[in-house]
């Protein structure tokens, strides 16, 4: 990057490329040091929101692409908030489930060339001296304290964002806004606190019927509040929607129990004599009762620093920038909501990201320009879809509007096209926005079909297409084009081809911000893979053309019961280690027959085959079920005695169970005889099935517990034990929001609330960890179990082989929302069927080890050698470590170490 | 399940030494079992047509004795066995590894004589 000509090279500085983050803060106090050969350009970013995050990431990425770059950049981000930069677009998730919204990888902030100063506020800019004054957040402006510092910069980027606007009406100071993580954390807590204090749901009035207001009201309603919306315009989202669309939306919102008051502004916040909020008085004199008032009426750019520093400010606020993102002051840039381009500040993430990329490019000597504002929006609020894009209001001369409206269904869809009805100009969708993601990239282009073909009346199947031109932006948040996505799928530039959606999202960043383009990205992936012959083949293996879920349904409908029948009907060859265990699992889920009988034994995967987990030396580990992690001292003693008697290595598992290692195949029946006699049953640690339901002690013992977590965990573990699925799955039950059972890292997480249980789904640890997401709140026991029944069965029926719940939900069209529709709203009408299937499993469950021990024919499968059934495998050699046995390592087998075999100490090469 | 004596030498023509391993009926179709024969751990597989195939019980990738507990299948026209540990796939007849060419699974001749399974151990 060419350093700007005026950069003072003689300035004493400590900033080599490896300068410590802390050194940035102390620059003014450091004495002269020898001039390093190359000094990093010091970029200071004021503000720590998404725009700052994107700029930092973009600058870093450019440096990493070229590690030997002669002109390194050192970035300091000064952020008022104490959080790492987070995804403001996803605040509604935070409101419902306290999700972590941190943007990107936290690793970005630990490198030597980046310093994040959170909890710090820039209080002044001197564009001539090129310094900024930094104080801890909360320090009064202008008040110099010991903690005040002066930072020098070479380039300054203003990314200060906006304030949520509060109207100047009496009582407004008692109200709240919906802008930051702290705001939504407060609102979540406050709704709960008010409900407890008042003994009824809190009445919340949200002022503002735009995107944010709707999100806030919808979220608060879900948290149990009774929400209403006050909108001064004639209909909701009047900035994005026309009257027809706004009214359709109003009906859908009202259907969720949210009252909408349109046409009047609030005049005053009425307080009770004790000074707490009691209501909102509207301009027409009507009073709405309220315990909590939230303003979501818009945002005001935080241009005060720039104003004080003498930068040019737009008439309607915001720092004036050109297409190059430069402000009126040299070496000062502005990006994001604070930047005013053509007299407008935009509160959307896509333009903010685009501006960040422009500045990153310019700081590296490029000449990128801001491409213009894409103000397409899509909102999803508990099933209500709203989207608008392009010239949604048909302002283009002679443009035509093609509208389909079905008021009864709350459906409104409109496309705006040129007068020849061929070129797409914009669109608006309420109720069903499924055409949005594939149409939005086509703005300004000729539509492949008649406009009407894209609307719900026509079935809307014409819409989604994997054949977009390369230059079309698929993901507008991150400005990723169809060409970029295709290149990643093909594996351009020597990188490995991305052949699954998760990988593709990671490497292109498409779909990682608002997620609305994910269906389109998925479509592109499938189209490309099909083209290149990698075939999105959902085929299980060379023997079955069908996918696991297709096979599952076929077997279910035809009521097939054996691998031979299934293979004869749908497959070829003899099967393999992929399809045989899959079929075994499908049969086990559907029929609950003993898994090793009638030829099914030969289908089972390694662990299922022995009803134990094979370890590296061919011995097994044994895990008895300990439901919920609760165990009596007597039973604990039995485990200890068994472990001691059979010389088993003993370790506590992560799932609150005990794993006994080193059991030989022929010892398993003897070990289980002891365990079953003592009342234990198989823990199914060997199955792709329910593992454990981890719990905390809950209200039984804990001072903070609000529900009986242990009883619930035991009930759930006993209900779903032995249920076989595409992959293993785990549960957690926590007795309060402190979440000591780490339930949100489980496939199904149950967390107690004052009112019942919240259920979270799709979490897992493992290679790609995922947090479970909120499916439903405040359920009673019965509804909780019903939802889990449906969720698990739906997963088992539709999941791919070895696909965990998190990936399954990611790959499902509609993701979590779709799952919620199926599980909670029964949108497919299969809820009863799913529950029936689960009931059949529960009724037919039997302990596999007790069933094995009861039948000599079954025990036969556990002999070590067909001709010497009880002779131990002579090759197994163990050594003692920390007083327990473990398999000998190859070097120990070779060397003079004290070894012990199972009974005959034999050494084999 | 009556264990036959594995050490019984059936014959020693020019080729391998043949040992009786077990009765054919001791083996469940496609359910592999190990046998101790002449100091060797051998994995036996009874196919659906009554044929028996034998390979070493030792997993070439890990040196653990587990091969009898793998899954029998096919790849194209070839009969296969997958290692139960890391799922390398071997030709059950030739011992060729189809997934990692560097590995090889030792095979043993096997035959069924009067309802008894016999395994040949090369001299």
What pLDDT, on the 0 to 100 scale, is given for residue A535?
Answer: 55
Residue in A with minimal Cα distance to B77:
A573
Higher pLDDT, A83 or A38: A83
Strand partners, A230: A207, A261
Rounded Cα–Cα distance for residues A77 and A49 (Å): 10
Residue in A with minimal Cα distance to B69:
A606
User: Which residues in chain B are contacts of A873 at CB distance < 8 A?
Assistant: 34, 41, 65
Rounded to a whole number, what is the distance in Å from the CA of B15 to chain A's nearest CA?
23
Residue to mutate among B29, B38, B73, with most A CBs inside 10 A, is: B73
Confidence label for A350 from pLDDT (cuts 50, 70 and 90): confident
Give the nearest partner residue to A618 out of B31, B37, B64, using CB atoms: B64
Give the nearest partner residue to B65 out of A603, A609, A618, using CB atoms: A618
- Tell me the Cα Rg of chain B: 14
Q: Contact B85/A616, CB-based, under 8 Å?
A: yes
Give the nearest partner residue to A866 out of B27, B72, B89, using CB atoms: B27
pLDDT tens string A8-18: 333 433 343 43
> CA of A672: how far to CAs of A432, A477, A623, A655, A706, in Å?
56, 57, 10, 20, 38
Lowest mean pLDDT among A354-363, A456-465, A610-619: A456-465
Q: Contact A574/B65, CB-based, under 8 Å?
A: no
Confidence label for A65 from pLDDT (cuts 50, 70 and 90): low
Burial A190-224 (b: 16+ CB within 10 A, else e): bbbebbeeeeebbbbbbbbbbbbbbbbbbbbbbbb
Lowest mean pLDDT among A260-269, A405-414, A620-629, B5-14: B5-14
User: Which residues in chain B are contacts of A610 at CB distance < 8 A?
Assistant: 69
Side-chain half-sphere exposure of A399, counting CA atoms within 13 A: 22
Does residue A244 carry a pLDDT above 50? yes
pLDDT tens string B35-47: 999 889 999 999 9
The answer to whether A621 touches A612, Cβ cutoff 8 Å, is yes
Does residue A25 carry a pLDDT above 80? no
Rounded Cα–Cα distance for residues A32 and B43 (Å): 77
Rounded Cα–Cα distance for residues A566 and A556 (Å): 11
The dihedral of CA A890, A895, A901, A904: what is its sign? positive
Confidence label for A20 from pLDDT (cuts 50, 70 and 90): very low
B27 in contact with A at a CB cutoff of 8 Å?
Answer: yes
A429 φ/ψ angles, rounded to the nearest 5 degrees:
-135, 135
Which residues of A fall below an 8 Å CB-CB distance to B?
Answer: 542-543, 573-577, 580-581, 599, 601-603, 605-606, 609-610, 614, 616-618, 860-861, 863-869, 871, 873-876, 890
Give the nearest partner residue to A614 out of B4, B27, B66, using CB atoms: B66
Predicted structure pTM score: 0.59
A417 φ/ψ angles, rounded to the nearest 5 degrees:
-135, 165
Strand partners, A660: A622, A650
Residues in chain A: 909
User: Which residues in chain A are contacts of B37 at CB distance < 8 A?
Assistant: 867
Confidence label for A896 from pLDDT (cuts 50, 70 and 90): low
Does residue A143 carry a pLDDT above 80? no
Lowest mean pLDDT among A629-633, A833-837, B14-18: B14-18
Rounded Cα–Cα distance for residues A41 and A157 (Å): 13
Helices (H), A579-667: 579-591, 606-610, 633-645
Q: Contact A617/B33, CB-based, under 8 Å?
A: no
Give the nearest partner residue to A860 out of B1, B59, B79, using CB atoms: B1
B112 in contact with A at a CB cutoff of 8 Å?
Answer: no
User: Which residues in chain A are contacts of B3 at CB distance < 8 A?
Assistant: 866-869
Q: Contact B71/A577, CB-based, under 8 Å?
A: yes
Q: Which of A218, A187, A479 is nearest to A348 (CA)?
A: A479
Confidence label for A31 from pLDDT (cuts 50, 70 and 90): very low
User: Which residues in chain B are contacts of A869 at CB distance < 8 A?
Assistant: 1, 3
Give the nearest partner residue to A577 out of B28, B58, B82, using CB atoms: B82
Give the nearest partner residue to A867 out of B35, B79, B80, using CB atoms: B35
Higher pLDDT, A834 or A802: A834
The Cβ of residue A717 has, within 10 Å, a number of other Cβ atoms equal to 24
Burial A417-427 (b: 16+ CB within 10 A, else e): bbeeeebbbbb
A200 is written with which tokens?
């009824």
User: Which residues in chain A are contacts of B19 at CB distance < 8 A?
Assistant: none
Burial A458-483 (b: 16+ CB within 10 A, else e): eebebbbbbebeeebbbbbbbbbbbb
Q: Contact B84/A614, CB-based, under 8 Å?
A: yes
> CA of A736: how far to CAs of A97, A194, A699, A762, in Å?
13, 18, 8, 20
Q: Contact A605/B71, CB-based, under 8 Å?
A: yes
Q: Who contacts A368 (Cβ-Cβ below 8 Å, separation ≥6)?
A: A324, A357, A358, A361, A362
Residue in B with minimal Cα distance to A858:
B28
Helices (H), A410-481: 436-439
Average of per-residue pLDDT across A661-669: 97
The Cβ of residue A706 has, within 10 Å, a number of other Cβ atoms equal to 18
Chain centroid to Cα A781, Å, comes to 26
A7, exposed or middle or buried, with CB in 10 Å at 0-12, 13-18, 19+? middle
Rounded Cα–Cα distance for residues A574 and A572 (Å): 7
Rounded to a whole number, what is the distance in Å from the CA of A562 to chain B's nearest CA?
14
User: Which residues in chain A are contacts of B89 at CB distance < 8 A?
Assistant: 576-577
* Residue tagged 């530039």 (tokens): A493
Percent of chain A with pLDDT over 70: 89
Helix (H, G, I), strand (E, B) or coil at A909: coil
Sequence spans of domains, chain B: 18-121
User: Which residues in chain A are contacts of B85 at CB distance < 8 A?
Assistant: 606, 614, 616, 618
Helices (H), A626-666: 633-645
Give the nearest partner residue to B29 out of A599, A873, A874, using CB atoms: A599
Q: Which of A677, A722, A718, A670 is nearest to A695 (CA)?
A: A718
pLDDT tens string A630-654: 999 999 999 999 999 999 999 999 8
A311 is written with which tokens?
């930068």
A800 is written with which tokens?
């791919």
The answer to whether B4 touches B25, Cβ cutoff 8 Å, is no
Q: Report, at the CATH architecture level, how domain B18-121 is classified.
A: 3-layer Sandwich (2.102)
Q: Which of A767, A770, A728, A730 is nearest to A749 (CA)?
A: A730
Higher pLDDT, A619 or A904: A619
Residue in A with minimal Cα distance to B27:
A866
Residue to mutate among B31, B42, B88, with most A CBs inside 10 A, is: B31
Q: Which of A156, A88, A95, A147 is nearest to A127 (CA)?
A: A156
Rounded Cα–Cα distance for residues B69 and B47 (Å): 14
Residue in A with minimal Cα distance to B31:
A602
> CA of A172: how far to CAs of A215, A251, A751, in Å?
21, 29, 35
- Region of A364 (left: φ > 0; alpha: ψ -120 to 50; beta: rest) is alpha
Residue in A with minimal Cα distance to B30:
A602
Helix (H, G, I), strand (E, B) or coil at A507: helix
Strand ranges across the sheet with A620-622: A613-614, A620-622, A658-663, A649-652
Give the nearest partner residue to A601 out of B4, B31, B62, using CB atoms: B31
Q: Contact A575/B74, CB-based, under 8 Å?
A: yes
Helix (H, G, I), strand (E, B) or coil at A304: helix
Q: What string of H, E and C letters represents the secondary structure of A162-221?
A: EEECCCCCCCHHHCEECCCHHHHHHHHHHHHHHHHHHCCCCEEEEECCCHHHHHHHHHHH
Does residue A26 carry a pLDDT above 80? no
User: Which residues in chain A are contacts of B80 at CB distance < 8 A?
Assistant: 576
Q: Contact B75/A601, CB-based, under 8 Å?
A: no
What pLDDT, on the 0 to 100 scale, is given for residue A493?
Answer: 65
CB pairs under 8 A between A and B: 111
Higher pLDDT, A253 or A527: A253
Question: Own/partner pairs for A668-672, CB < 8 Å, 24+ apart?
Answer: A668/A610, A668/A611, A668/A612, A668/A620, A668/A622, A668/A862, A669/A852, A669/A853, A669/A859, A669/A862, A670/A646, A671/A622, A671/A642, A671/A646, A672/A622, A672/A849, A672/A852, A672/A853
Give the nearest partner residue to B71 out of A576, A861, A865, using CB atoms: A576
Residue in A with minimal Cα distance to B84:
A606
Q: Which of A552, A613, A616, A535 is nearest to A588 (CA)?
A: A552
* Predicted ipTM of the assembly: 0.93
Q: Who contacts B13 (Cβ-Cβ below 8 Å, separation ≥6)?
A: none
What pLDDT, on the 0 to 100 scale, is given for residue A372?
Answer: 78
Residue in A with minimal Cα distance to B29:
A599
Does residue A433 carry a pLDDT above 90? no
What pLDDT, on the 0 to 100 scale, is given for residue A9?
Answer: 37
Q: Who contacts B118 (Cβ-Cβ below 8 Å, separation ≥6)?
A: B10, B18, B19, B20, B21, B110, B111, B112
Residue to mutate among A618, A892, A906, A907, with most B CBs inside 10 A, is: A618
The answer to whether A777 touches A222, Cβ cutoff 8 Å, is yes
Q: Contact A614/B69, CB-based, under 8 Å?
A: yes
Residue in A with minimal Cα distance to B44:
A866
B56 in contact with A at a CB cutoff of 8 Å?
Answer: no
Confidence label for A744 from pLDDT (cuts 50, 70 and 90): very high
What pLDDT, on the 0 to 100 scale, is given for residue A881?
Answer: 93
Rounded to a whole number, what is the distance in Å from the CA of A603 to chain B's nearest CA?
7
Average of per-residue pLDDT across A891-895: 75
pLDDT tens string A305-318: 999 999 999 998 99
Burial A61-82 (b: 16+ CB within 10 A, else e): ebbeeeeeeebbbbbbbbbbbe
The answer to whether A210 touches A298, Cβ cutoff 8 Å, is yes
The answer to whether A430 touches A241, Cβ cutoff 8 Å, is yes
Higher pLDDT, B48 or A372: B48
The Cβ of residue A138 has, within 10 Å, a number of other Cβ atoms equal to 8
Does residue B2 carry a pLDDT above 50? no
């Amino acid at each position: 990057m060419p350093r700007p000509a005026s950069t003072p090279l003689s300035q004493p500085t400590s900033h080599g490329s490896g300068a410590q983050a802390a050194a940035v803060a102390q620059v003014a106090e450091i004495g002269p040091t020898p001039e390093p050969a190359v000094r990093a350009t010091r970029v200071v970013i004021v503000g720590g929101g998404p725009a700052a995050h994107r700029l930092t990431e973009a600058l870093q990425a450019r440096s990493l692409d070229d590690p030997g770059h002669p002109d390194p950049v050192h970035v300091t981000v000064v952020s008022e908030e104490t959080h790492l930069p987070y995804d403001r677009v996803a605040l509604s998730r935070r409101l419902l489930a306290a999700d972590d919204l941190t943007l990107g990888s936290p690793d970005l902030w630990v490198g030597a060339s980046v310093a994040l100063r959170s909890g710090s506020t820039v209080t002044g800019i001197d564009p001539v001296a090129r310094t900024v004054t930094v104080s801890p957040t909360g320090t009064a402006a202008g008040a110099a304290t010991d903690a005040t510092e002066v930072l020098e910069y070479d380039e300054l980027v203003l990314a200060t964002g906006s304030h949520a606007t509060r109207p100047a009406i009496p009582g407004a100071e008692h109200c709240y806004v919906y802008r930051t993580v702290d705001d939504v954390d407060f609102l979540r807590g406050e709704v709960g606190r008010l409900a407890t204090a008042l003994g009824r749901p809190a009445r919340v009035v949200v002022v503002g019927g735009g995107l944010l207001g709707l999100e806030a009201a919808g979220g608060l309603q879900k948290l149990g509040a009774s929400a209403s919306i006050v909108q001064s315009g004639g209909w909701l989202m009047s900035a994005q929607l026309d009257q027809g669309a706004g009214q359709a939306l109003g009906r859908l919102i009202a259907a969720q129990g949210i009252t909408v008051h349109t046409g009047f502004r609030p005049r005053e916040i009425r307080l009770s004599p004790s000074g707490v909020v009691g209501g909102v008085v509207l301009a027409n004199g009507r009073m709405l009762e309220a315990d909590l008032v939230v303003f979501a009426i818009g945002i005001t750019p935080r241009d005060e620093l720039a104003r004080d520093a003498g930068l040019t400010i737009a008439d309607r606020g915001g720092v004036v920038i050109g297409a190059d993102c430069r402000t009126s002051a040299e070496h000062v840039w502005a990006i994001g909501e604070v930047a005013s381009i053509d007299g407008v500040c935009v509160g959307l993430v896509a333009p903010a990201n685009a501006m960040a990329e422009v500045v990153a490019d310019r700081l590296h000597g490029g000449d990128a320009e801001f491409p213009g504002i894409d103000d397409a929006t899509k909102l999803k609020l508990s099933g209500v879809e709203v989207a608008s894009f392009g010239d949604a209001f048909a302002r283009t001369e002679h443009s035509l509007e093609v509208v389909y409206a079905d008021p009864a269904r709350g459906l409104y869809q409109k496309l705006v096209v040129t007068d020849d009805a061929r070129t797409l100009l914009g669109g608006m969708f309420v109720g069903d926005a499924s055409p949005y993601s594939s149409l939005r990239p086509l703005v300004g282009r000729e539509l492949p079909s008649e406009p009407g073909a894209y609307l719900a009346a026509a079935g809307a199947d014409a819409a989604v297409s994997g054949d977009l031109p390369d230059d079309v932006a698929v993901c507008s948040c991150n400005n990723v084009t169809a060409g970029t996505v295709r290149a990643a799928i093909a594996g351009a530039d020597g990188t490995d081809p991305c052949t699954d959606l998760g990988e593709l999202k990671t490497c292109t960043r498409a779909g990682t911000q608002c997620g609305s383009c994910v269906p389109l990205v998925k479509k592109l992936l499938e189209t490309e893979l099909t083209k290149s012959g990698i075939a999105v083949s959902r085929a299980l293996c060379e023997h079955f053309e069908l996918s696991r879920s297709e096979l599952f349904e076929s077997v279910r409908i035809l009521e097939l019961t054996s691998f031979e029948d299934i293979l004869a009907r749908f497959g070829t060859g003899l099967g393999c280690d992929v399809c045989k265990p899959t079929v075994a699992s499908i049969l086990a889920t559907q029929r609950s027959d003993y898994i090793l009988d009638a030829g099914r034994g030969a289908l089972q995967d390694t662990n299922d085959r022995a009803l134990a987990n094979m370890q590296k030396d061919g011995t097994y580990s044994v895990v008895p079920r300990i439901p919920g992690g609760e165990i009596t001292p007597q039973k604990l003693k039995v485990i200890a005695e068994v472990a001691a008697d059979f010389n088993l290595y003993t370790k506590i598992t992560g799932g609150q169970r005990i794993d006994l290692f080193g059991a030989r195949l022929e010892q398993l029946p003897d070990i289980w005889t002891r365990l079953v006699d003592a009342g234990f049953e198989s823990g199914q640690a060997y199955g792709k099935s329910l593992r454990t339901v981890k719990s905390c002690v809950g209200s039984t013992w804990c001072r903070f517990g609000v529900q009986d977590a242990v009883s619930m965990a035991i009930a759930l573990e006993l209900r779903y034990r032995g249920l076989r699925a595409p992959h293993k799955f785990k549960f957690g039950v926590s007795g309060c929001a402190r979440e000591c059972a780490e339930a949100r890292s489980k496939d199904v997480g149950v967390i107690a609330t004052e009112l019942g249980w919240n259920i979270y789904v799709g979490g897992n640890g493992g290679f790609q960890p995922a947090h479970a997401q909120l499916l439903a709140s405040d359920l009673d026991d019965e509804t909780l179990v019903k939802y889990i029944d449906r969720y698990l069965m739906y997963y088992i029926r539709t999941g791919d082989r070895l696909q965990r719940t998190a990936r399954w939900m990611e790959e499902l069209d509609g993701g979590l929302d779709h799952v919620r529709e199926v599980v909670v709203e029964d949108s497919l009408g299969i809820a009863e069927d799913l529950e029936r299937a689960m009931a059949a499993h529960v009724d037919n469950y039997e302990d596999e080890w007790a069933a094995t021990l009861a039948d000599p024919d079954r025990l036969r499968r556990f002999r070590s050698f067909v001709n010497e059934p009880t002779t131990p495998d002579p090759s197994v050699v163990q050594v003692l470590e920390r007083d327990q046995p473990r398999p000998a390592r190859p070097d120990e087998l070779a060397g003079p170490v004290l070894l012990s075999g199972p009974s005959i100490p034999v050494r084999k090469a | 399940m009556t264990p036959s004596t594995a050490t019984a030498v059936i014959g020693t023509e020019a080729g391998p030494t043949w040992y009786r391993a077990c009765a054919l009926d001791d083996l469940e179709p496609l359910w592999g079992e190990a046998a101790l024969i002449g100091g060797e751990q051998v994995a036996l597989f009874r196919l659906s047509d009554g044929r028996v195939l034998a390979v070493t019980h030792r997993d070439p990738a890990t040196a653990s004795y587990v091969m009898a507990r793998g899954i029998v299948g096919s790849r194209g026209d070839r009969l296969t066995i997958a290692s139960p540990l890391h799922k390398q796939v071997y030709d059950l007849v030739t011992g060729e590894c189809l997934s990692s060419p560097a590995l090889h699974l030792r095979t043993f001749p096997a035959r069924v004589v009067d309802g008894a399974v016999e395994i040949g151990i090369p001299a």
